[in-house]
Amino acid sequence: MNKTKVTIWIYYLIYLVVYIGWLFHASETPWILGYSRQHFGFLLIMLIPFVLPVIFVRAISASIIRVFKQGLLLISLLYLFSSAYYYYTRTYKFDPFLQMPPPDISSEYGSGTNYRILILGGSTSTDYHTFLQDSLLEAYPNSDIEIINGARMWWTSRHSLIAYSTMYYLYDPDLVIIMHGINDLVRSCVGSDYSLGEYKEDYSHYYGAAINGAQPPSFAEYLFDRYYSVVRDNWYSSLRFKVTDYPVEEFRSIKSFQINIERLVLKIKSDGADVVLITQPSLYKRDLSSQENALLKFPRAFCMDRTNFFHISYPSAESMRIAMQSFNNSIRYIIEQTDVYLVDADSIFEKTASNFMDDVHYTQLGNKVLSSMIYQVIERTNIISENSE
């Protein structure tokens, strides 16, 4: 057996191991044989390398080898100059205090209004305010009601505490509506794509959207990350990935969450404003349907522990349900200890695909339902009528 045949056999053995890795994958949205359409098509395409040795042996010649070497040199030079340009010009802008900069609402500062409402929260609080505004304007036509949406994607209770204490208090709100939960919960997750090091109570281990500023990707990562992600998330995934029932004690950020909310409420109340706290609705429940289960993204996207490439774990939907219940129970506890209002949305929100886009983000219908719950509490407790005279 000559060297060429030995090389080809070694190639086939190595590539067979690689290809089998793609077979050990279970797609979240299976189409055939447990694979999605995309992954099944990928499997067909990845059969092509099996015929490459035959083509290579038949087509090989001195001239082809020379062209190959010249092409390799050209690609190497192009890569070298491109990487130099990349490192010289690349910047990752982020807010040095809040990671994600606050929404630009400075133009609203100082505007005349009879009653001002400030909304605080993460991305789940960025859309319902338009429906709430319509309901309030209809119910209180003689009151000049203004809603300032100070919520921001990725923000936790700590972000809202900092933002209110340093900026938002200047707007002198009469009522502050607060909804937090899931973003604080995922701060418990270490080893994910968005965290560095061990858990810290001030959330300083978790960079979120600013992770590239803390750990800038190399030029190779910039070029090939999307392909590496395919390998990382699909290759032998059914053997490497493990859904784990985490005990609620694993979600350590619940302590910081409660402290942050308590401090935020205390600060707002000391400024003379009313506070409405909302338990955050989520899709997590027992007996999820296949359609609902397919909507869940947060355990894999934000809580996947990747510290060991060959053993990757993430919390089960049941773990997330129990954890979210604990975070919402913290809100209920704070309500009992302070003079603030409660919208217990999670306990009455219908957990169906018609209301949820994913684990916690709401459809247009879901945002309407949430705004209606908030409006009913405002109307029942007579908050605006008492304070807008």
The alpha carbon of residue 131 and the mean position of all alpha carbons in its chain are separated, in whole angstroms, by: 24
Q: Are 269 and 4 in contact (CB under 8 A)?
A: no
201-241: per-residue pLDDT in tens?
999 999 998 888 888 888 888 888 877 888 888 888 888 89
**What band does 106 get if pLDDT is binned at 50, 70 and 90?**
low
Pair of tokens at residue 141: 């036509």
167-178: per-residue pLDDT in tens?
999 999 999 999
Q: How far apart are CA 159 and CA 120, in angstroms?
A: 9
Q: What is the pLDDT of residue 284?
A: 97
Sign of the alpha-carbon dihedral angle for 187, 189, 192, 198? positive
Q: How far apart are CA 13 and CA 54, in angstroms?
A: 15
Q: How far apart are CA 323 and CA 246, in angstroms?
A: 9
Q: What is the pLDDT of residue 223?
A: 85
DSSP 2: -
User: Cβ contacts of residue 310 below 8 Å, gap of 6+?
Assistant: 240
Q: What is the pLDDT of residue 92?
A: 82
Q: What is the pTM of this model?
A: 0.87
User: Cβ contacts of residue 245 below 8 Å, gap of 6+?
Assistant: 315, 316, 318, 319
Residue 336 in this model has a pLDDT that exceeds 60: yes
User: Cβ contacts of residue 350 below 8 Å, gap of 6+?
Assistant: 369
Q: What is the pLDDT of residue 29?
A: 76
Q: What does the pLDDT average to over 317-330?
A: 97
Cα-flanking dihedrals φ and ψ of residue 22, to 5°?
-70, -25
18-46: per-residue pLDDT in tens?
889 989 887 777 888 888 888 888 889 88
Q: What is the pLDDT of residue 34?
A: 84
Residue 122 in this model has a pLDDT that exceeds 80: yes
Helix-helix angle 3-23:52-59, to 10 degrees = 150
Residue 388 in this model has a pLDDT that exceeds 60: no
**What band does 96 get if pLDDT is binned at 50, 70 and 90?**
confident
**What band does 9 get if pLDDT is binned at 50, 70 and 90?**
confident
Strand ranges (E), 122-203: 145-149, 175-179
